[in-house]
Structure 1
Amino acid sequence: MAEIHDSAVLVSFRSVQKTYDGESLIVKDLNLDIRKGEFLTLLGPSGSGKTTSLMMLAGFETPTSGVIELGGRSLNNVPPHKRDIGMVFQNYALFPHMTVAENLAFPLSVRGINRTDSSERVKRALSMVQLDSFASRYPGQLSGGQQQRVALARALVFEPQLVLMDEPLGALDKQLREHMQMEIKHIHERLGVTVVYVTHDQGEALTMSDRVAVFHQGEIQQIASPRELYEFPSNTFVANFIGENNRLDGRLLSCDGDRCVVSLARGEKVEALAVRVGNPGDPVTLSVRPERIRLNGASESCGNRFSGRVEEFIYLGDHVRVRLEVCGAKDFFVKQPIAELDPSLAVGDVIPLGWHVEHVRALDPQPNSL
């Protein structure tokens, strides 16, 4: 990754560790620079350290060791309410006895902002989330999506330089969740505020973020733009966690520059990009995305060609997932747009298929737990 000029960095984690029992580290040696104005998502499964990292930045957790800086100064002894950070939680955390306007005015009064200025800011924040006419309602009179909008407005109303969001859309249904993803993304683009967002939903991370940091077992596995993470995963964990992925286990036969040849269990040979491999004879896992695989005649130009037996069709509206048995793997998936699917294809058919060398990555061997 290119070096970032210091003035563009808003938050720095320097060798940050967190343990609750003195033995197991929830966060291991975290070094991370967050840029001014970016939308950075911390993504990972439960227990991977992403929420703990966010809570340390917010001030609700204390690092066991290391330093967190905001705007060049250490936050280690700064209480949460003095950090100039807005927070949005999954459960909204609105005051039920206060109206929407009073909920929004609360963080302003805590900061000593006068009433005239305060009511002007509340108005602006409500209009930003399209709730102008809801000022006098109470949280209990609002839907989940409206409450989440109020929580978002409250985090933005005092114009913080940094907004932290912890699974803020987790309680919403799919359609509303997707709508709110775009709302938050557009508000971020308009305001230029820095957002650090925690989710375990990879689709959400890919949709909203400028960069995504993928966490696993307390460490960042890869930090990159959504496209780079999906197309160029740096290890097997990232390849499996982001999007759908076909995995083939084999052993490294030879390497030549950035290309390598891998031998599969039944002896088939695959030419691949050598991304994270050891020495000849070492185990490797091949990763190839389902939409990169070509069937029948379309496979003729591919560097890697095999045959597969069709096991199942899974219809998903705009595309079909075809499950095949390929090279001994029974759950090998191909994604085909409806318009490109051969209507005569049937379960039991044995067909040629293939993929280009640049679309298959040779990575570290997957642990059996994956």
Structure 2
Amino acid sequence: MLDSQANDVLVSFRGIQKSYDGEALIVKDLNLDIRKGEFLTLLGPSGSGKTTSLMMLAGFETPTAGEILLGGRSINKLPPHKRDMGMVFQNYALFPHMTVSENLAFPLSVRGMPKLDVKERVKRALSMVQLEGFRNRYPAQLSGGQQQRVALARALVFEPQLVLMDEPLGALDKQLREQMQMEIKHLHQRLGVTVVYVTHDQGEALTMSDRVAVFHQGEIQQIDEPRVLYERPANTFVANFLGENNRLPARLVSRDGDHCTVELGRGEKVEALAVKVGAPGAPVNLSIRPERVRLNGASASCPNRFTGRVAEFVYLGDHIRIRLEVCGITDFFVKQPIAELDPALSVGDVVPIGWQVEHVRALDPLQAA
């Protein structure tokens, strides 16, 4: 069983560290296995170490310590052009003086491929990104989305075993960005190539990935499937960074296995899942997603039940965010589909609210960054 799992691993980071000044570590101790054929996203805020990790994998940066293995072999000293990896950047990096076809042919020509094969590969790559009619245009004659498609085709044209993408959709507008997310996802599913994708956009990571590694201060905080990350964050940083999150500071009263009782500032007791807590008396953060909070009659069956005063409605088309004052917290949010909104609800109303035990997690108190 272990052997078959080991055979599924394409890339291994082992004890990787990176420092630019010999003192501060941008990447602290990275141990990560990337599986063949998976779409893995490195997600995190600016300065968290995600892009540096990608650049070390690409060969544009050298690790200060540790080893990177590709197919079981160390690539620390292998130059970028010998790593068999396609790269897609945010700025496209297309050659402006070359046509679309010439841009795509370039990585094949430098590898010494026969002209007939080059022509066939370019034709196939253009078809893959639906740009057959644009082969003779120059990058300046293309829209941003078309340029990004060309960059994507160029990264795939020589059929690399691994494609690295660094914020490739950052320069596109929202609608085009969402369209390209699905195109890249479907291309990945069709081709079965391994993709390592860097972004700071949580929605993008959740939409596209098989697994997401959440980076913070040079370390992976959690690596999991998108749904697990969102529904079961391992710590307060992950809970806050991924999606909307209500955070209630509290104190641990008691623990019984994976359940616990905590006390809020005014003495209110909450039953929660004990995910990352210390000893009784220690501070904790309660994490509750806005869409998991029930209002009015829907809260009747909830073991954790309180009242909240409606402070504000934020209309977002398909759903509405309701800001409440709850247990001394002035910015507690509930998210409801428009179809479920009670039209009689108005600012100033005091309403019962509640949530199930499985939807509230007791986590570590948030440390200052």
Q: In structure 1, what residue type is equivalent to 2:140?
A: G
The aligned residue for residue 356 of structure 1 is 356
How far the C-alpha of 1:366 sits from its partner, in A, is: 1.3
CA distances 1:304-363 after superposition (whole Å, capped 9, x unpaired): 000000000000111110000001110000001111111000100001000000100000
How far the C-alpha of 1:367 sits from its partner, in A, is: 2.5
Distance 1:229 1:191 in 2: 26
Tell me the SS of whatever aligns to 2:322: strand
The aligned residue for residue 90 of structure 2 is 90
Distance 2:336 2:367 in 1: 29
The aligned residue for residue 299 of structure 2 is 299
Matches within 5 A, 1:146-161: 146-161=146-161
The aligned residue for residue 240 of structure 2 is 240
Matches within 5 A, 1:41-120: 41-120=41-120
TM-score calculated relative to the size of structure 2? 0.99
Task: Give me the CA root mean square deviation.
Answer: 1.0
Tell me the SS of whatever aligns to 2:352: strand
The aligned residue for residue 249 of structure 1 is 249
Distance 1:338 1:109 in 2: 56
The aligned residue for residue 26 of structure 2 is 26
Kindly indicate whether residue 170 of structure 2 is the aligned counterpart of residue 170 of structure 1. yes
Distance 2:234 2:334 in 1: 22
Distance 1:359 1:126 in 2: 47
How far the C-alpha of 1:290 sits from its partner, in A, is: 0.3
Q: In structure 1, what residue type is equivalent to 2:10?
A: L
How far the C-alpha of 1:142 sits from its partner, in A, is: 0.4
Q: In structure 1, what residue type is equivalent to 2:168?
A: P
Gaps of 5+ in 1: none
Distance 2:256 2:112 in 1: 66
Distance 1:104 1:255 in 2: 60
The aligned residue for residue 260 of structure 2 is 260
Distance 1:299 1:41 in 2: 37
Tell me the SS of whatever aligns to 1:5: helix
How far the C-alpha of 1:4 sits from its partner, in A, is: 7.2
TM-score calculated relative to the size of structure 1? 0.98
CA distances 1:129-188 after superposition (whole Å, capped 9, x unpaired): 000011111001001100000000000000000000000000000000000000000000
How far the C-alpha of 1:3 sits from its partner, in A, is: 9.8
Q: In structure 2, what residue type is equivalent to 1:94?
A: L
Q: In structure 1, what residue type is equivalent to 2:121?
A: R
How far the C-alpha of 1:206 sits from its partner, in A, is: 0.2
The aligned residue for residue 342 of structure 2 is 342
The aligned residue for residue 188 of structure 2 is 188
Q: In structure 1, what residue type is equivalent to 2:276?
A: R
Q: In structure 2, what residue type is equivalent to 1:301?
A: S
Matches within 5 A, 1:220-231: 220-231=220-231
The aligned residue for residue 8 of structure 2 is 8
CA distances 1:190-215 after superposition (whole Å, capped 9, x unpaired): 00000000000000000000000000
Distance 1:269 1:254 in 2: 11
Spell out structure 1 runs of 4+ moving beyond 2 A.
none
**Change beyond 3 A, Cα 1:202–1:278:** same
Q: In structure 2, what residue type is equivalent to 1:5?
A: Q
Tell me the SS of whatever aligns to 2:238: helix
Distance 2:41 2:180 in 1: 16
